[in-house]
């Protein structure tokens, strides 16, 4: 009895991490999203659920695998997994061994088409990474798992602004990470940028855009700094509100500069915050934005979802 109660407490704890397994299907394509909530440290702006309790990583992955086995989503006949997305949190905080366990289970439950070097065949398989997590060993392991796309949070190439955000990496680590991924055979890289920092000028922002363009990555996402309720930044500004003044006109000019420079460099502006070289739009994100009214979605974990009148959700693992 005591063992059963302990196991329930563990699963309930993991459930409260808001773990999400999302499978969406429309016609002949389906997408799988897995939320990895672990972070080595918490960024000041982040409003997503995350935890720094890294000792629970093994239990979390075990629970994800168990959940997939207990409640596999019956894909329509002729439908295969088209995209897999590991988001967070910081999925690159999982060890290579835990990623191997996760992908072995994904292959077992969803029978992904095999391909040389890993799972998924022609699927787009993305993992979000922090630049400082991309060691040579980590980068080399990704293609063996079938991962062929990396989304990396650069945010800014100014170390002072990175410290303001409580980011762990430095500006110098971003090009090193990109080089390691290229060397490992990852030819679809996306980086995130952020603008609208306190005291940031239009010249500062142009420097960040130019630094990003110099990396010649396939995809760029750029977001204006938001003050999310529940974030460390939100709590800080409740006490020191005078330190952060929003200049909406300056933010508009920054966004306009972003569009002009990236389109001039050959990137397609296909969503509000997303830019891609031809042929490198995020298939996973595009499936959601284009088909959200009709595609069924399953979300396992704590929060149910509704899309197109189709609802699936459970409060426990």
Of 32-46, 248-262, 271-285, 297-311, the poorest mean pLDDT is in 297-311
Which residues are 38's β-sheet partners? 51
* Cα–Cα distance, 125 to 86 (Å, whole number): 8
Triad 24, 270, 131: Cα angle to 5°: 80
* Cα–Cα distance, 103 to 302 (Å, whole number): 22
Which band of pLDDT confidence, cut at 50, 70 and 90, is reported for residue 31? confident
What mean pLDDT is predicted for residues 67-73? 78
pLDDT at 121 over 70: no
* Cα–Cα distance, 177 to 150 (Å, whole number): 11
Average pLDDT score, the chain: 79
pLDDT at 190 over 80: yes
Which residues are 195's β-sheet partners? 224
What mean pLDDT is predicted for residues 271-291? 86
CB of 173 closer than 8 Å to CB of 130: no
In which residue are the tokens 């330190």 written?
A: 243
């Amino acid at each position: 009895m005591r063992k059963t109660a302990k196991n329930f407490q563990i699963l309930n704890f993991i459930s409260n991490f808001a773990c999400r397994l999302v499978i969406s299907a429309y016609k002949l394509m389906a997408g799988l999203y897995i939320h990895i909530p672990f972070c080595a440290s918490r960024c000041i702006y982040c409003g997503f659920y995350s935890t720094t309790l890294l000792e629970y990583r093994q239990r979390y992955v075990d629970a994800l695998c168990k959940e997939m086995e207990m409640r596999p989503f019956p894909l329509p006949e002729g439908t295969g997994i088209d995209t897999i997305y590991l988001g967070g949190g910081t999925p690159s905080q999982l060890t290579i061994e835990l990623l191997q366990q996760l992908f072995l289970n994904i292959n077992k439950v969803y029978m992904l088409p095999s391909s040389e070097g890993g799972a998924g065949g022609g699927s787009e398989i993305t993992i979000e990474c922090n630049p400082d997590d991309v060691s040579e060993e980590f980068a080399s392991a990704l293609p063996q798992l079938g991962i062929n796309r990396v989304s990396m949070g650069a945010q800014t190439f100014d170390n002072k602004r990175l410290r303001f955000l409580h980011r762990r990496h430095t500006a110098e680590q971003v090009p090193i990470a990109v080089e390691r991924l290229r060397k490992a055979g990852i030819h679809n890289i996306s980086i995130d940028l952020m603008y609208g920092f306190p005291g940031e000028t239009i010249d500062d922002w142009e420097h960040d855009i130019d630094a990003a363009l110099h990396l010649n990555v396939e995809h760029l996402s750029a977001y204006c700094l938001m003050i999310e309720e529940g974030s460390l930044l939100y709590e800080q500004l409740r006490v020191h509100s005078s330190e952060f003044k929003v200049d909406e006109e300056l933010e508009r000019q920054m966004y306009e500069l972003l569009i002009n420079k990236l389109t001039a460099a050959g990137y397609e502006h296909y969503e509000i915050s997303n830019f891609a070289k031809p042929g490198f739009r995020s298939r996973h994100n595009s499936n959601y934005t284009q088909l959200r009214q009709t595609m069924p979605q399953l979300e396992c974990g704590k929060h149910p979802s509704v899309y197109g009148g189709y609802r699936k959700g459970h409060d426990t693992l």
